[in-house]
Structure 1
Amino acid sequence: MTDHPLSSAQTPWQWAIQRATLIADILTSEDFTQLLVQGIDVIAETGQLVSDRPLQVETDSRQLTTRAVLLATGSLPRLPAIPGLETVPYETAEAFLRRESLPESVAIVGSTPLALMLCQILCRGQIPVSLITPNASLLNQEDPDVSRWMTAQLRAEGAQLRLATQVAAITQIDSGVSLNLPDATITAETVIIAVSPAPNLTAIQLEKDWSGDRSLLVNPYLQTQHPRIYACGSVLGSEGMPAIARQEARLAVNNALFWNRQRIDYCALPYGLLTQPAMARVGLTELQAKHRYQEDELLIHRQSLYENPKAQWSASTIGFCKLIAHRNGQLLGCHGVGPEASEWVQTISLLMGQKTPWYAISRYPTIPHSLSDLLRQTAQQWEHDRWQPGKWRRDWAENWFNWRRSR
């Protein structure tokens, strides 16, 4: 394990927050500089969309008229309907990450990706954590194998998970807060509200009411109900996934400048979560694939990291790679959990974009025993299944070699 340069009065949490703040400041300043070098005006002021015919944006010092607007206003915290919540101190997940010190115990209400990552961080810091969610499973939009892995991983690390549970009431006590559940009462020093956020539409000041609690609806070109107003990021309800928001922004800007030429394809967008080990995904889940295709048309295989020599050597055997494909060769999805899950998924995403058939993966050269070799091993399992006794390939090969031996 690498030693961190901690001062005598600094905790690991304080060092991590300080380091993250420094990196964010460096990257933000470089982004502004690059934009200015490219000839883009950067106005570091709050803006409001005040007119849609023509499109006008007002800031503290300027009024701009434009042909198109891209809304990337993000999201706002959404508060669940819990009796007594307004009478107790609470924090959002984003605000908690700015704390200078950790509390003695934490209760998390909600199961957003950020909530799960924060839950794991606290467990590894030996902080008692209870996570309460009305959902019957975690990451219910992900593949069932990934959802089950996340649930098992958090429980193994000490998190108290209360799935399919509603908070009946919350009250303040001397030691913090008390949460009343249908079958128990939980106390914690700090409560974190981490439910799915609401779109931030406060910057839209138009006659037509754009306010609401739902995410903005867009077409495949990322146009809103106004054909010259585009949107991207968490204002669309993507839970703030940077990989998805970046691709949305690129396509929306391109369409706004050069007419609508590019359509968003979420099935080809890879993204991941910074869990330990990391989780990444691209394409359809197993349930989505079975809903779209007949079950006998699908090829689904999962390869465990436990069988990989490098994973054994580095003691990183927790994880798996799951490939989903059609029998016609089309790659449909990849779901990975492991130290290099993002690399597996990124590779599959590129192959999906190039229409590469799944059976080509088993023939690609890879470094033996590397973690990336897991993709080839997974695809080879399908090749192995195609050559089982009773399959036409096996029968044809036996007849061929019998004929060769008889010549």
Structure 2
Amino acid sequence: MNYTHDVIVIGGGAAGLTAAGGCALFGLRTALIEGHKMGGECLNNGCVPSKALIASARRAAEAREEKRAGVQLAAPVVDWSGVHKHVHDAIAHIEPHDSVERFEEMGCEVIQDWAKITGPKEVTVGGRKLTAPRIVIATGSGPLVPPIPGLDDVPYLTNENLFDLTEQPDHLVIIGGGVIGMEMAQSFRRLGSEVTVIEPGNVLGRDDRDSAAIVKSVMEDEGVRFVQGKAAKVSGGEGAITVSTDGGEEVSGSHLLIAVGRKARTEGYGLEELGIALGKNGIKVDQRRRTNLKHIYAIGDCREGPRLTHVSGYEGSNVVLEIALGLPAKADFKALPWCTYTEPEVAQIGMTEQEASEKLGDKLTVVTEGFDHNERAIAEGLTKGHLKVMLKGHKVVGASICGVNAGELLLPFTQMITGKSGTFDVGGAIISYPTRSEITKAAAFAAWEPTVFGPWPKRWVAFLAKIRRMF
């Protein structure tokens, strides 16, 4: 067959950009198709704007603390137009990294239009028919909007329009206590809005329960209100919206944010007509991210599985190995990290304590180190939080961290879980003093402490001491 391209990538977010850029740099004729904005969710209404907003909120929180460590600060004055500008300046600053021009320089043919797969190896876009022996679907996900009675009749926010607000909400009501809900709840509260979070289960439900409890307590102290319950009905209108819960409570606010999860974007791309198998929330794939049509891959948020920007980039790289180099690359998530950027942060890699307990039973050992014993944290006066390390013997199977910059402490655990390093190596490493990363060394050494100071080493020490006393 006379193909127009070697590979066609549909979607210009983290997954698609990595896959298309890598294939093009290897010299493959690569078509990159994006129907909306280059950079996808992460750049335009996800990671970048949310972290920029969190940065503004942190500055306000620091000033609001008035006096700490002997230094008096003035109360913060929040200029919402300035906050809005900071958020969009961050997006604009990073945009060139994901731009059409940059990927054309790499060798991609970038087509800005909506695509549809119209044959096993054919994609129609902008009136053109493209063909390739390999197709990569990277269409991402969008906010999941639950079928709450009355929701369609009131104005509501999702992450897709939240960062376009030109006026600060007086009272932001958030349905959902997951990552987005918690990060935005703390940020808007710190910037001066009243905030109420409605969540039927545990906040940060996929994280360590002790870590989530610390964050919730901090946020409550800062003035965030939590309501346990499921949103049963929404009523009202612009500037005055009421959410009624299944427990009979009514919460009224000026703005409503829906943050209950993500939904894979799979409709309108010709997948069902082609016979590509779909799961409950995304395209079904194997470990190599191949669909049931093995020459078509699905990577990133559009497929079933974890929805994280770094996972999308990882899968994009794997697809490059598959398509460009012919090297089978299976996704391996046993050392999957993630972080929620509240303050304190909640970071996780591998199994949580609950998951490890269910899987390992009495073979599990949990080592816990508190930041209240970390000398850098003590010197800073920021000791909330802890590190938990889940062990099977001396092998790390997971780690949960809650504290300042917790996400920055995950890297050594990637190496330990994958076997590229071990607790003995880390426990004996020289760590710069004073740093928060010393807590990692302390936990790693604690894994070996019963062995190092066990009966046989003590007998050997006693024997050597006895010999020395004889001379």
What is the TM-score with the length of structure 1 in the denominator? 0.88
Does residue 65 of the first structure (1) align with residue 131 of the second (2)?
Answer: yes
Superposed counterparts of 1:247-266, under 5 Å:
247-259=314-326, 261-266=328-333
- % identical aligned pairs: 19
Q: For residues 281-338 of structure 1, what are the alpha-carbon distances to aligned partners after superposition, in whole Å with 9 as ceiling and x for unaligned?
A: 221111222222242x3331121222222222223222322222221x3221222223
User: Is residue 119 of structure 2 the alignment partner of residue 51 of structure 1?
Assistant: yes
Whichever residue aligns with residue 164 of structure 2, its letter is R
Residue 459 of structure 2 corresponds to: 396
Query: How far did 1:349 drift?
Result: 0.8
1:322 aligns with 2:392: no
5+ residue gaps, structure 1? none
Q: Point out where structure 2 has 5 or more consecutive residues left out of the alignment.
A: 1-57, 64-75
CA contact (8 A) 1:268 1:353 kept: yes
Deviation sequence 1:127-179 (CA, Å, 0-9, x none): 111111222x122222223332332232222211123x112211115751111
1:14 counterpart residue number: 84
Q: Give runs of aligned pairs for residues 191-230 of structure 1, distance below 5 A.
A: 191-206=256-271, 207=273, 208=275, 214-230=281-297
The 5 A counterparts of 1:298-377 are 298-327=364-393, 329-377=394-442
Which whole-Å CA distance do the structure 2 matches of 1:254 and 1:71 have between them? Answer: 16
User: Residues 237, 279 of structure 1: CA spacing in aligned structure 2 closer, same or farther, 3 A cutoff?
Assistant: farther
**Which of 207-216 and 95-104 deviates more?**
207-216
Structure 1 stretches (4+) deviating beyond 6 angstroms? 1-4, 6-9
TM-score by length of 2: 0.77
For residues 117-266 of structure 1, the aligned pairs below 5 Å read 117-135=183-201, 137-163=202-228, 165-172=229-236, 175-181=239-245, 182-206=247-271, 207=273, 208=275, 214-237=281-304, 240-259=307-326, 261-266=328-333
Task: Specify the SS of the correspondent of 2:355.
Answer: helix
Query: Hey, what's the Cα distance between the residues in 1 that align with 2:428 and 2:276?
Result: 56
In the aligned structure 1, how far is the partner of 2:95 from the partner of 2:420? 39
1-structure distance, mates of 2:306, 2:416? 26
Distance 1:259 1:167 in 2: 49
Inter-CA distance 340–173: structure 2 relative to 1 (3 Å threshold) = closer
Following TM superposition, by how much is the alpha carbon of 1:271 offset from its aligned partner in structure 2, in angstroms? 2.7
Matches of 1:174 and 1:363 in 2, distance apart?
Answer: 60
After superposition, the Cα gap between the structure-2 partners of 1:85 and 1:209, relative to the gap in structure 1 and judged at 3 Å, is: farther
In structure 2, C-alpha distance between the alignment counterparts of 1:354 and 1:174, rounded to whole Å? 55
The farther-off stretch of 17-26 and 364-373 is: 17-26
Shift of residue 45, structure 1, vs aligned partner: 2.3
Match of 2:343 in 1: 276
- The answer for the alignment partner of 2:144 in structure 1 is 78
Q: Distance in 1 between matches of 2:456 and 2:221?
A: 44
- For residues 221 and 142 of structure 2, the distance between their equivalents in structure 1, rounded to whole angstroms, comes to 32
Q: CA offset at residue 194 of structure 1?
A: 1.2
C-alpha distance in 2, partners of 1:179/1:56? 47
Query: Which segment drifts farther, 271-280 or 43-52?
Result: 271-280
Match among 26, 35, 45 for residue 96 of structure 2: 26
Provide the secondary structure at the position in 2 that maps to 1:97.
helix
Higher strand share: 2
Which residue identity is paired with 1:48? Answer: K
Which residue identity does 1:325 align to in structure 2? L
**Cα gap change, 1:95/1:138 in structure 2, threshold over 3 Å: closer, same or farther?**
same
Q: Distance in 1 between matches of 2:130 and 2:426?
A: 51
Picking from 332, 335, 353, the partner of 1:286 is 353
d(CA) in 1 for partners of 2:373, 2:252: 42
Native 8 Å contact 2:115 2:124 kept in 1: yes
Deviations 1:320-363 (A, max 9, x none): 22222221x32212222233322320122134334322122110
Q: Report the more deviating stretch, 369-378 or 143-152.
A: 143-152
Q: Contact 1:244 / 1:271 at 8 angstroms: preserved in 2?
A: no
Q: 1:253 to 1:341 in 2, by over 3 A?
A: same
Question: What root-mean-square deviation, in Å, do the aligned CA atoms of Structure 1 and Structure 2 show?
Answer: 2.8
